[in-house]
Amino acid sequence: MALSSMMYTHLPVTQAASGATRFSLIRSSHHQEAVLDHQQTKTSNKANRLAESLAHLLHLHIDTPPRTNTHSTNWNLFTEEKISTPTTSPKDSISEKWREIHGSNDWEGLLDPLHPWLRREIVKYGEFAQATYDAFDFDSFSEYCGSCRYNHNKLFDVLGLSKNGYTVSKYIYAMSHIDMPSWLERSHLADTWSKHSNWMGFVAVSDDLETRRIGRRDIVVAWRGTVAPSEWYEDFQRKLEPIGHGEAKVEHGFHGIYTAKCETTRYNKSSASEQVMKEVTRLMEFYRAQGEEVSLTITGHSLGGALALLNAYEAAETIPGLPISVVSFGAPRVGNIAFKDELNQMGVKTLRVVVKQDMVPKMPGLVLNEGLQKFDDITGTLDWVYTHVGAEMKLEVGSSPYLKHGGFNLPGFHSLETYLHLVDGFLSTETTFRSNARRDFALVNKGCDMLVDDLRIPQCWYQLPHKGLVCNAHGRWVKPKRDPEDIPSPTREAQAQAHALQVEMMESDYALSF
């Protein structure tokens, strides 16, 4: 599916509204930007409204009239102005309000208009999910195809994500239990780093400075969306299978990728599920022992969003009392109504960011979905109906003056960079794209062609120089050798941990000798 019981303090309130809930009253000084921007231009054409309603009912995409462009029509002057400004907003301390930002009240009153503190956190987690694509080795002629191109100690440095204040502690690998026809094989080479496994994401944890800013030690799990052909095969299965001890069921293919393992493999002797839960439990126990408050935030795009929900379900079952949130982008439905209900009962908070034109969130269950719940009195609860989970933040491609509004660009609509661009510019459903959006719009075209041509940003520009070839000392263009530290090797990681433990024991023995 790549086409993938506690007391809470309130956020600041600056104006009251009778009958509104406590969270819908939130109007901090930061929200004044929503008032300063122009009001959204609305169409009064009844035919257009009728067409939109029918399109929504049939899950079709019909372009709506573009909103008034609030930016300068001189794109050259506009571009010069934009490239002279920072790409990130100042970091505000959310330490006293983190539970609301983390979803304690299901983000009520924070999404429309979008609170700037929440916007920044959504973008942060989205960047972690994007990192799983940016660092993934797609090259089918590489002996390391399917791995991460960098070791975990320098991943964020290479990708420019050190500014977020997190450190990667563990990589996650996953596999698919299927026999693949030769034309679907991931790599063209017989001698590869792994025949069965793919790098699927990572576990990271906030550093001391970020921990003070956000009010707790935040463990993050980022899951990659669909890239490998075997993952496409798994994604397109539609069978539901039981999970847990109740009536919850989840999509067979997603669950297979999350739980598959094999003793004969090097990287998946333990499943992705076992790998991630072992690391999350280790980090949680370590920081709780230091007297710190700990949260778990799980993010992912497309297939990664589905795996994030499975991960959240298992974590909630395994570690009671741990605040768990899921922030997903363009994620498909994962399970049935019982799965949704069990997640809610366990206190998992889920925020789904969805682009209206993206087809992936409509799958599986294009027709047979949560909409059938209205007939429960007649049919009873249908345990085979797919259902979305959590709060939804819906975005619209037509809201951005930088994006092409015509055509049917499925990869562009589903691209995570498109999502992050729209989140960064979203103020509310009643206002236009914010004029002071900070995120670099050029990132949208990293892997697609969604930006208007006037911006002069090449399509699909994110790639290795010379497509990975380097000129050697003899003037020949060859595939470079990876730095030893960037070669995937869980064995080396285990050896490093064992060495560190040995050094620690030696130091302890030395201290005791005195």
Residues 236 and 366 in one domain: yes
Residues 112 and 252 in one domain: yes
Verify that 271 and 286 share a domain, yes or no: yes
Q: According to DSSP H, which parts of 59-205 are helical?
A: 75-82, 98-101, 116-134, 155-159
Give the global pTM.
0.78
The mean-pLDDT minimum among 44-53, 297-306, 482-491 falls in 44-53
In the predicted model, is pLDDT for residue 49 greater than 70? Answer: no
pLDDT, mean of residues 401-422: 92
pLDDT mean over 296-314: 97
Q: How many domains does the chain have?
A: 2
Residue of 491, 422, 418 lying closest to 3 (CA atoms)? 418
Question: Under 8 Å CB-to-CB from 24, ≥6 apart: which residues?
Answer: 17, 108, 109
Assigned domain for 203 exists: yes
User: For residues 216 and 98, is the Cβ–Cβ distance under 8 A?
Assistant: yes
What pLDDT, on the 0 to 100 scale, is given for residue 80? 62
Instruction: Give the highest mean pLDDT range of 24-38, 168-182, 238-252, 323-337.
Output: 323-337
DSSP type of residue 290:
T
Residue 375: strand, helix, or coil? helix
Domain that residue 155 falls in: 93-389
Omega before residue 113 within 30° of 0, cis: yes
**Cα–Cα–Cα angle for 202, 167, 328, rounded to 5 degrees:** 45
Query: Which range is least confidently modeled, 8-12, 208-212, 367-371, 497-501?
Result: 8-12
Whole-number pLDDT of residue 487:
87
**pLDDT interval class at 88 (50, 70, 90):** low
pLDDT for 481: 87
pLDDT value of position 28: 43
Q: What is the pLDDT of residue 321?
A: 93
- Is the per-residue pLDDT at 310 higher than 90? yes
pLDDT > 90 in the chain, percent: 54
Q: Show which of 463, 483, 503 is a domain's final residue.
A: 463
d(CA 155, CA 140): 21
| Three-state secondary structure of 399-440 | HCCCECCCCCCHHHHHCHHHHHHHHHHCCCCCECCCCCCCCC
Domain boundary among 332, 356, 389: 389
Mean pLDDT (the chain, rounded): 79
Could you tell me if residue 490 is inside a domain? no
469 occurs within a structural domain: no
pLDDT at 476: 93
197 versus 113: which is more confidently predicted? Answer: 113
* Position 93, amino acid: S
Residue type, 165: G
| pLDDT bracket for residue 11 (50, 70, 90) | very low
Task: Tell me if 511 is assigned to some domain.
Answer: no
**pLDDT digit string, tens, across residues 126-142:** 999 999 999 999 888 88
- Identify the residue with better confidence: 55 or 236: 236
What token pair was written down for 156? Answer: 């964020």
Lowest mean pLDDT among 9-13, 160-164, 194-198, 427-431: 9-13
Does the annotation count 302 as an active-site position?
Answer: yes
Annotated active-site residue 162? The verdict is: no
User: Residue 365: which pLDDT band, with cuts at 50, 70 and 90?
Assistant: low
Q: Is residue 48 part of a domain?
A: no
pLDDT of residue 6: 34
Pair 266, 286 in one domain: yes
In a domain, 106, yes or no: yes
Q: Is there a single domain that holds both residue 404 and residue 371? A: no
Q: 351 and 321 in one domain?
A: yes
Confidence of residue 453 (pLDDT cuts 50, 70, 90): very high
Mean pLDDT of 157-183: 82
Does pLDDT of 396 surpass 80? yes
pLDDT band at residue 385, thresholds of 50, 70 and 90?
confident
Whether pLDDT at 170 is above 70? yes
Residues 164, 288: one domain?
A: yes
Q: Are 43 and 49 in contact (CB under 8 A)?
A: yes
| Mean pLDDT lowest among 192-201, 226-235, 258-267 | 226-235
Residues 385, 445: one domain?
Answer: no
Number of H helices, E strands in the chain: 16, 11
Select from 428, 444, 463 the last residue of a domain.
463
Q: Which of 115, 196, 414, 421 is catalytic?
A: 414
3-state DSSP of 334-368: CECHHHHHHHHHCCCEEEEEEECCCCHHHCCCCCC
Beta carbons within 10 angstroms of residue 220's beta carbon? 25
pLDDT for 295 beyond 90? yes
Same domain, 369 and 427: no
What pLDDT score does 143 carry?
84
Confidence of residue 4 (pLDDT cuts 50, 70, 90): very low
Model pLDDT, residue 244: 85
pLDDT at 150: 95
Is 406 inside a domain boundary?
A: yes
Flag whether pLDDT at 12 surpasses 70. Answer: no
Rg of the chain over CA atoms, in angstroms? 24
Backbone φ/ψ region at 358: left (φ over 0), alpha (ψ -120 to 50), beta: beta
252 is catalytic: no
Tell me the per-residue pLDDT of 278-290, one tens digit each, with 9 for 90 and over: 999 999 999 999 9
Which range is least confidently modeled, 161-170, 212-221, 258-267, 279-288? 258-267
**Does 108 share its domain with 252?**
yes
Q: Return the pLDDT at 238.
A: 65
Among 48-62, 95-109, 400-414, the least confident range = 48-62
- Return the pLDDT at 74: 66
* List 218, 235, 358, 486, catalytic entry: 358
Q: 446 with 309, same domain?
A: no
101 vs 111: CA distance, rounded Å: 10
**Residue 480 pLDDT:** 87
pLDDT top residue among 132 and 495: 132
CATH code where residue 336 lies: 3.40.50.1820
Please check whether residues 196 and 150 belong to one and the same domain: yes
Is the model's pLDDT at 407 over the cut of 60? yes
Q: What is the pLDDT of residue 502?
A: 54
pLDDT at 245: 85
Q: At what angle do helices 252-259 and 303-318 cross, to 10 degrees?
A: 60
Quick: pLDDT tens for 316-335: 999 989 999 999 999 999 99
For residue 36, pLDDT over 70 is answered with no
**Alpha carbon distance 396, 423 (integer Å):** 10
Look up tokens 């204040």; give the residue.
Answer: 165
> DSSP states of 171-190 as a string?
EEEEE--SPPPGGG-S-S-S
Question: Which residues have a Cβ under 8 Å from the Cβ of 508 and sit 6 or more positions away?
Answer: none
Position 32 in a domain:
no
